[in-house]
Structure formats: structure tokens, C-alpha cells
Amino acid sequence: MVADLWWHEKIAKNTGFTRIAGIDEAGRGPLAGPVVSAAVMLPMGAVIPGVNDSKQLSHKNRERLYHQIYASARSIGIGIVDACEIDRINILQASLLAMRMAVDNMNPLPEILLIDGNSEIDCPLFQKCIPQGDAKSFSIAAASIVAKVTRDRLMDRYHEDYPQYGFIQHKGYPTKTHKLAISIHGCSPIHRQSFKGVVNRQCRLPLSSLENPAKFRQPLI
């Protein structure tokens, strides 16, 4: 964690940008469920104590900060790409697509994007990639929290439809319990059939059975 989490935002502001958004995603590693991205534009210097890389925070703190970020933000956009599309275009491209969708869903739009990672997205806006940006930029850290909480809530809802997999516990990540459930029950319509841990169990489903998660695309406040 850098001493000043606003350093990258200050550099952008000194360059002449006033609408600065951080972008991060959640859900690249799971065997099931969507990849979710969030783009967050906060007022410069916004005070939200505790904002940090979402992976370093407890569930309780992420939930608390999620509400505070929504209350403080100038603009937030969410992008969701489902398991079927992940299988079709691969997880990297799906993550970048989710990021583009998140930006498209912002109002007002930012002037510059601070992106967690090494890859720019297909977007005409100015962009700056920041490896491990969720630990170096306040805006990206806020986006990581929003993306993580949004995805966790989606997986909690999917648990109601497919309780045999225990999504409410592991959120689709490849735990021993989850792998055992796949071995016993096969895969569900939200499993990523191209992923190791799913494809090697030869659980195939017709595309017509795949559920469209579009109903979850609004922010879950």
C-alpha cells in the first residue's frame, strides 16, 4: 500500500483531468458465475476511512464501505459478463469487456480511466494501467470493493437456485467443497465449462439452458 492513495489521481488532475475513474474487476478465478467490473468516480480527496484492496477487507467492512462509496461517488458503472460469454471469448477478454461495459454505464462519463492491471480496454478515453492498482489508487480500491460486493451478492442469489454447490460459502471459487459438489452433481448453467475443474468432469449443458443474468445488472444497493 502506497502512502498516498490519491497520488495517481493527483497526477491526473495536475495534467488537466477533472473526472477521474478507477476500474477493477472481481471473479476472474472462479469456476462458476460471472466476472463483474466496477468503475468508480469519486470527488478528489473524498474521505472514506478504510478503503483498501477488497481482498484485504473482511466481508463486514466491504459491505460498510460499499454503501459509503455509493453515497460519495460522482458516478458508478457496473459491467457483468456471464459464464457463457466467458467460455466463448476467454476470461481475459471477458474481464476487459466487463470493464468497458462498466464505463459505458457511468453518468457522467469520466475523462480518464485508472485501470487495475496491464491491459487497456476498448474505449476512446485516456487510460492509465496500474499493476496492483487496487493497492495504489483510492479510486481503483473503491472500484474493487464495489465489484467484489456486487459479485458476492449475485453468487448469493445463485445459491438460492443451485444450493447443492454451496455458492453462498465460496462464491464459485475452486475450493475442495465446490469441486466435490461438481463431481457429485455435474455442472450448473452458471459454471464455466471451459475452465479446468469443470471441463475435465465432462459436464456439458445445452446453450439453451444457460441463464441470462441481465436481471442482476443494476447496482445492488
Q: Record the cell numbers describing residue 199, joined without a space.
A: 471441463
For residue 117, the enclosing domain spans 7-160
CATH number, position 95: 3.30.420.10
pLDDT at 219: 42
pLDDT at 2 over 60: no
Residue 55 buriedness (CB in 10 A; 0-12 / 13-18 / 19+): exposed
- Looking at the domain assignment, is residue 127 inside a domain? yes
- Looking at the domain assignment, is residue 79 inside a domain? yes
- Looking at the domain assignment, is residue 172 inside a domain? no
Which ranges of the chain does DSSP label H, i.e. alpha helix?
Answer: 7-15, 59-72, 83-89, 91-104, 138-161, 167-170, 176-185
- Looking at the domain assignment, is residue 175 inside a domain? no
pLDDT at 60: 95
Q: How many domains does the chain have?
A: 1
pTM score, whole prediction: 0.89
pLDDT at 55: 85
pLDDT at 211 over 70: no
pLDDT at 200: 67
Stretch 114-133: mean pLDDT, rounded? 97
Percentage of the chain modeled with pLDDT above 90? 85
Stretch 60-74: mean pLDDT, rounded? 97
- Mean pLDDT value across the chain: 91
- Looking at the domain assignment, is residue 96 inside a domain? yes
pLDDT at 215 over 50: no
- Looking at the domain assignment, is residue 30 inside a domain? yes
- Looking at the domain assignment, is residue 182 inside a domain? no
- Looking at the domain assignment, is residue 220 inside a domain? no
